[in-house]
Amino acid sequence: MADPNYEGWRQVALLTSIPMVLMAGPIIGYWMGDFLDRLFETSPWLMGVMTIMGGIASVRQTILLIKRVKGV
């Protein structure tokens, strides 16, 4: 079990990581989609699909982080 003196700091650390998680997914998805579009000459389809998938993954990860902070 975690030390109760540091529980507040743990929650702050988890919650401050949310903006980075929300930005990273779509950015990485965009980059991967652009790379695959250039490779397979399918522009702009894979870029759009991968960006959307990155956004969905970011939202899912944010929900999991919030649940972890709440202790659910």
The whole-number pLDDT of residue 62 equals 96
Task: Give the per-residue pLDDT at 8.
Answer: 86
Q: Give pLDDT tens digits for 15-36.
A: 999 999 999 999 999 999 999 9
Q: How high is the pLDDT of residue 2?
A: 64
**Chain centre distance of CA 47:** 17
Torsion of CA 32, 33, 37, 40, to 10 degrees: 70
The average pLDDT across 41-64 equals 96
- Is residue 1's pLDDT more than 70? no
Kindly indicate the confidence band of residue 7, based on its pLDDT and cuts at 50, 70 and 90: confident
Global confidence as pTM: 0.84
